[in-house]
Every structure is written in C-alpha cells, then in structure tokens.
C-alpha cells in the first residue's frame, strides 16, 4: 500500500501543495484508525505509557512531520517510477540503523536475502526507463527515507504497545502540524475530488499500511522488516505503469525477480542457537505457549497484556530480533 502510494501522491501533489497534502494524508490515517479503535472490542494490547512519550515524539516528528513533506517535495521533481524506486533507501537506512545502533542481527542467509532485495532495488534505480531524476528531488526523498528509518527503529522499540494507538497518535499530531503550517503559509484548499482522494489514500497508505508495518516490526525486528519493506518500490513501479502510463524495462523485470529470491531466503531463514535471557520486566501482548511466558494467572487466559517479569533462562529455539531477542552473536 505504501509503495503504491508514491505515484498516486505524485498525481495529487500537482493539485495540492506538499505541506497541505501531507496533512490531508495523515488526517485520513487518523480518521481511519480512530474509527477502528472506536469499533473494535477487547484488543488485549498494552497501552501507551508516559515513559513512551520521548520515543513517540521522535516517531511523530521524524516519520509524521518531516518525512512526508520531504517526500512530496521530492516527488514534484522526479518521475513516478524514480520516486518509487528511491524509496528503497528507507530499507537500506532502516537496516543499517537496526544493526549498528539497536542491537539487531542478521545471519548469513538472512543477510543474503536482504542484500538481494536491496541490490535489486538499486538496479531498478539505475536501469533507466522513464526514471527522470533531479538532484534536489533525490536529496529530499533520501532525507525522507532517513527520517522514516529513524521512525521505524523507534517504532520497533514501542512495538509492544498497541500499534493502532501508536500510529493514531503519530497520524493525528502529524496531520495537525502539517495542516496548521499549510494554512499559515497560505496554501489554497484543493478541489473536493483531490481532497477526498488524499484522505482516502492517507487512510490506506499512511494508516492501515503503517499499522501492519508496526506489527511486522514487533514480530521480526526492524532489520528484517526493512528487507521485506524493500519490495515496496515494486508496487510503486506497477502503479506508475498502470495508473500513470509509464514504462518498465527488462532490467527492471529482472530486478523484481531477484527481489523475489531475496524474500524467499528471508522467509525460509532458520536462526537457531542456544542463547541466554537476562531478567526482564516489561508490558506487551503475549500468550503462555511460546517458551517465554510461563507466569501464573488465577484464571486461564488467551492472548492478553500486562506488566510481567521474565526470569533469567538459557534455551535454544528458532527466533529473530524481536523484543525478547537482542542478545549478542558470534560472527556467522
């Protein structure tokens, strides 16, 4: 959904100023997520806490305020295909930050899969076609990707909380800030069709899409999420071809096939070894059949959320760099 949104947003950015469009996109996300939160029952998710405010502020400013405006400014200066392909930088930067600063790990097979996705995206970007580029456009989109890389890694740190609540806060604040700035800068209101289109696109690409991504960050960590997210340009290219009438080259088709191989390597990865868990107390959604949660309840429960403690233990099982597995590794 997010990959497909780039060429669609390019169509809108010709009618709506970037700052105003960013506000409308996140406004659509906030409305959609508020509706979901109002209708769903008993989510059994951990609530946001006061201690989460600094990270949530970082997520909101980097990913909600700065990144979309930079992206939309960049999309004014490059083609739909080029803008979609440049989004692969988000995967590279997210993965790099996760490995360098956030204690994540990729073994050789996963690293090969991630490398295939990133390399294929780079080939897509260099393959020509109608990928018209502009230096300032490239810089703006690259800066947007860096902001989203910071956002992704901070969101992963918050992923034990309710993803719908996290993204709604981010979307609501981002919408408010961008809309106020747009009005203050004198941005004219768009036609009704463009306004409705922006709100609907925002609900899907900046609302539901980001919630699904937050769940992915919870379950596989930011490094692997980044590799999977590296496929987003494929959907952007497909949308640019189908909607904008742009063309795709044989080299781009080959790169998509290489991406598919990379995803296969990631999905079939089996990272298993004996590892130690230090004592830990935290709060997140969990169940009592996954080898990590064996505390006692007065009544039988299914998935639920509450503050609970983990005793130190050592065991071996298949795992990724999720919230429970940030241990160091020997060289693979």
Q: Mean pLDDT throughout 130-157?
A: 82
282-326 tens-digit pLDDT: 565 656 665 565 656 655 566 666 565 666 666 554 545 566 655
Element (H, E) at 114: helix 108-126
Is pLDDT of 73 > 50?
A: yes
183-203 tens-digit pLDDT: 888 888 888 888 898 899 999
| Placement of tokens 């609900």 in the chain | 203
pLDDT of the residue at 57: 92
* pLDDT-derived band at 32, boundaries 50, 70, 90: very high
Tell me how crowded residue 205 is: count the other CB atoms within 10 A of its CB: 21
Q: Are 171 and 29 in contact (CB under 8 A)?
A: yes
What residue ranges do the domains of the chain occupy? 2-272
Which tokens in the block code for residue 32? 């959609």
- Give the three-class secondary structure for 87: coil
Mean pLDDT of the chain: 76
pLDDT of the residue at 128: 47
Does 316 or 29 have the greater pLDDT score?
29
| Alpha helix (H) residue ranges in 14-76 | 18-39, 53-59, 67-75
Of 56-65, 112-121, 146-155, the poorest mean pLDDT is in 112-121
Report residue 122: phi and psi, to 5°: -65, -40
Which tokens in the block code for residue 46? 């951990």
Which tokens in the block code for residue 123? 């080939």
Is the dihedral angle over the CA atoms 162, 165, 168, 174 positive or is it negative? negative
% of residues, the chain, pLDDT over 70? 70
247-271 tens-digit pLDDT: 666 776 777 777 777 777 766 766 5
Taking the C-alpha atoms of residue 70 and residue 303, their distance in angstroms, rounded to an integer, is: 39
Does 147 or 106 have the greater pLDDT score?
147
- Give the three-class secondary structure for 309: strand
Residue 276, strand partner residues: 314
Among 139, 29, 28, CA closest to 83: 139
* pLDDT-derived band at 82, boundaries 50, 70, 90: low
Is the dihedral angle over the CA atoms 173, 179, 180, 181 positive or is it negative? positive
Is the dihedral angle over the CA atoms 94, 96, 99, 101 positive or is it negative? negative
- Give the three-class secondary structure for 233: helix
Those residues whose C-beta lies under 8 Å from the C-beta of residue 67, and which sit 6 or more positions away, are: 144, 145, 147, 148, 151
């Amino acid at each position: 959904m997010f990959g497909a949104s780039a060429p669609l947003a390019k169509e809108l950015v010709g009618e709506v100023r970037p700052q105003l469009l960013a506000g409308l996109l996140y406004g659509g996300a906030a409305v959609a997520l508020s509706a979901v939160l109002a209708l769903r029952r008993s989510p059994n998710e951990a609530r946001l806490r006061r201690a989460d405010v600094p990270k949530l502020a970082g997520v909101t400013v980097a990913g909600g305020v700065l990144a979309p405006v930079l992206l939309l400014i960049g999309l004014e200066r490059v083609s739909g295909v080029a803008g979609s392909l440049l989004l692969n930088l988000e995967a590279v930067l997210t993965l790099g930050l996760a490995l360098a600063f956030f204690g994540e790990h990729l073994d050789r097979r996963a690293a090969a899969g991630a490398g295939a996705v990133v390399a294929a995206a780079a080939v897509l970007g260099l393959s020509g076609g109608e990928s018209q580029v502009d230096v300032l456009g490239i810089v703006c989109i690259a800066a947007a990707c860096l902001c989203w890389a910071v956002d992704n890694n901070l969101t992963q740190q918050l992923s034990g909380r309710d993803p719908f609540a996290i993204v709604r806060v981010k979307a609501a604040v981002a919408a408010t800030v961008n809309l106020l700035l747009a009005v203050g800068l004198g941005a004219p209101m768009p036609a009704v069709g463009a306004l409705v289109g922006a709100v609907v696109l925002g609900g899907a690409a900046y609302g539901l899409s980001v919630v699904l991504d937050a769940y992915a960050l919870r379950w596989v960590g930011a490094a692997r999420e980044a590799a999977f997210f590296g496929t987003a340009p494929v959907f952007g290219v497909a949308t640019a071809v189908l909607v904008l009438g742009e063309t795709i080259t044989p080299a781009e088709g080959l790169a998509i096939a290489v991406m598919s191989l990379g995803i296969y390597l990631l999905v079939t990865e089996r990272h298993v070894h004996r590892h130690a868990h230090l004592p830990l107390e935290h709060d997140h959604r969990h169940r009592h059949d996954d080898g990590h949660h064996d505390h006692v309840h007065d009544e039988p429960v299914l998935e639920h959320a509450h503050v609970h403690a983990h005793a130190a233990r050592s065991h071996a099982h298949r795992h990724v760099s999720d919230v429970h597995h940030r241990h160091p590794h020997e060289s693979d």
